[in-house]
A and B are shown apart, each in its own frame.
Chain A
Amino acid sequence: MSSGQNSGGLMSSAGLVRYFDSEGRNAIRINPKSVMAFGALFGVLVIMLNALTV
């Protein structure tokens, strides 16, 4: 970072999946908390199913 010029998008260390600022206006928006909650609940559900059938 020599001059600040390479920040602000000049040298993007893009991940494998790219996300842009503009998204489809009619896209379904998911709250990030819902993603986390769903992940955690899904894990707990599978663990419980495992425990019930052993």
Chain B
Amino acid sequence: MGWKEAAEPYLTRMPTVSRPEGHVPFKRKMAWTAFILVVYFFLTNVALWGLGQNATDLFGQFRSLLAGGQGSVLQLGIGPIVTASIVLQLLGGANLLGLDTDDPRDQAIYQGLQKLLVLVMICLTGLPMVFLGGFLPADTALASALGIGVFGVKWIIFAQIFVGGVLILYMDEVVSKWGVGSGIGLFIVAGVSQQLIIGLLYWTGAGTGSMGVLPFWINVVLGNIENVTASSLLFNSTVGLLPIITTLLIYAVVVYAESVRVEIPLSHARVKGARGRFPVKLIYASVLPMILVRALQANIQFLGRILRGWLGEAGMPNWLGVYTVSEQAGLQVAGGLFYYLAPIHSPSDWMWWVAGVGGAEPWQVLLRVAIDLTFMVIGGGIFAIFWVETADMGPEATAKQIQNSGMQIPGFRQNVGVIEKVMERYIPQVTVIGGALVGLLAVVANMMGTIGGVSGTGLLLTISITYKLYEEIAEEQLMEMHPMMRQMFGNE
């Protein structure tokens, strides 16, 4: 008797959102997606009750990627879900779970385990955020008014972010089952798009730092901005020419790369003339594994910030991390191990000839860039492989699917093992190359800067999720046109 039998009665009892019975019309699906989006935006604007002054964001520059809103009930965003997914990917990729996702019983256990892990991660990120390091300080006035002490108010704050975290999980489930795409994708796209639009249009006053791309360039052309230097026009991390070009370039590269594929010809075993192709896309594993690598880096940085907040300035050894505290930026790492492990977020993190880079020497900056690149390229490759394995896109699973659909590769025997051999020639290689390429792109985008200062990974994810969403919507509409289509696609 393994862990499965022991855990099954508990894991299969996890509450789930009910599935729709029968076909959900496309319009209804869009409506569900839109409703969830509205509730999501509403909740990101609901401030936590009992929160005191001087709260700093533990997620820091990872915020746009992890969605949610600082100081709101959705403080945790999709962080716990992503972290839980990392654990599952690693366990599943190393085949430690022993779950067969074709078996209905194991599927139910897998889903329960998934939810349980997210709940654990909500506690693991939420508790230190509230109780260690003062990232979400309690309101002392409220504490004395209620007579429960600061500790009691902290529990109230934790309860709110806990409910927020659980809500994100179930909102994702509603979108996945009743709407279009996945909730997590939707939340990332929503956050990043909002930041992109703000970055394009915002206007808070005169001067380089207080307007978005469009107002800035209009004012440059009209000659309203003083002290314009060639360097600020080119290198400014949010409105310069470089971030504009980078944003457009990343867009073009991702859309192009989505169409780069190795096509494996297929023919039907019985019906002569029925032909098809199995595409192994360059970005086969999609860009989603990238978020796992970034979240791993984010978790390393949380650890540093929590340690710093817990031990205080004097208690934190210098080799581990030196932090500077400022009014606008909050806690910033400026030296030690955690500095080198921190990813490059914007040009001001490394362009030592333009920005101050926090007083770091060029060799320190270069070392940090090298570590970030290595982490992302190798991590991208590894997580892409794990992703393909756990999402049933690997050689074995695809071979089985092709076999079951009655297709074969022309010129080869109709046999699962043979199809798998052919798939093994392409899928692992393409996956690793794709993963590494996406990792490289994400780092380059961050280094060059992007419009609105959205992270490279956020931009990549947004473009590729939108592309997938577009494909899915096109497919949905096709199915709406004729009920026969639904049978052909196999979704009744």
Q: Which residues of A come within 8 Å of B, CB atoms?
A: 1-32, 35-36, 38-40, 42-43, 46-47, 49-50, 53
Q: How many residues of B contact A (CB 8 A)?
A: 82
B272 within 8 A of A: no
CB distance from A21 to the nearest CB of B (A): 8
Residue of A nearest to B392 (CB): A12
Contact for A2 among B101, B279, B468, CB less than 8 A: B279
Q: List 22 A-B contacts (CB under 8 A).
A: A4-B489, A8-B489, A10-B398, A11-B279, A13-B472, A15-B185, A17-B81, A17-B169, A17-B172, A20-B104, A23-B12, A24-B108, A28-B15, A29-B15, A29-B16, A31-B18, A35-B17, A36-B39, A39-B171, A46-B46, A46-B47, A49-B49
CA distance A29 to B385 in the complex (A): 34
Evaluate contact between A24 and B112: CB separation under 8 angstroms.
Answer: yes
CB distance from A20 to the nearest CB of B (A): 4
CB distance from B213 to the nearest CB of A (A): 31
CB distance from A9 to the nearest CB of B (A): 7
Contact for A16 among B111, B184, B398, B402, CB less than 8 A: B184
CA distance A11 to B275 in the complex (A): 18
Contact for B160 among A21, A39, A46, CB less than 8 A: A46
Beyond the given A29-B18, A40-B42, could you list 20 further A-B residue pairs with CB under 8 A, ordered by the A residue number?
Answer: A1-B474, A3-B276, A5-B266, A5-B278, A5-B407, A6-B278, A7-B475, A8-B489, A12-B393, A13-B471, A14-B182, A18-B110, A20-B101, A20-B104, A24-B13, A27-B12, A30-B17, A32-B17, A39-B167, A53-B49
Residue of B nearest to A25 (CB): B12
Residue of B nearest to A15 (CB): B182
Q: A14-B391, A39-B39, A46-B48 are in contact. Are A5 and B471 (CB under 8 A)?
A: no
Evaluate contact between B184 and A17: CB separation under 8 angstroms.
Answer: yes
Evaluate contact between A18 and B111: CB separation under 8 angstroms.
Answer: yes
Q: Which residue among B169, B279, B491 has the maximum number of chain A CB atoms within 10 Å of its CB?
A: B279
Evaluate contact between A53 and B13: CB separation under 8 angstroms.
Answer: no
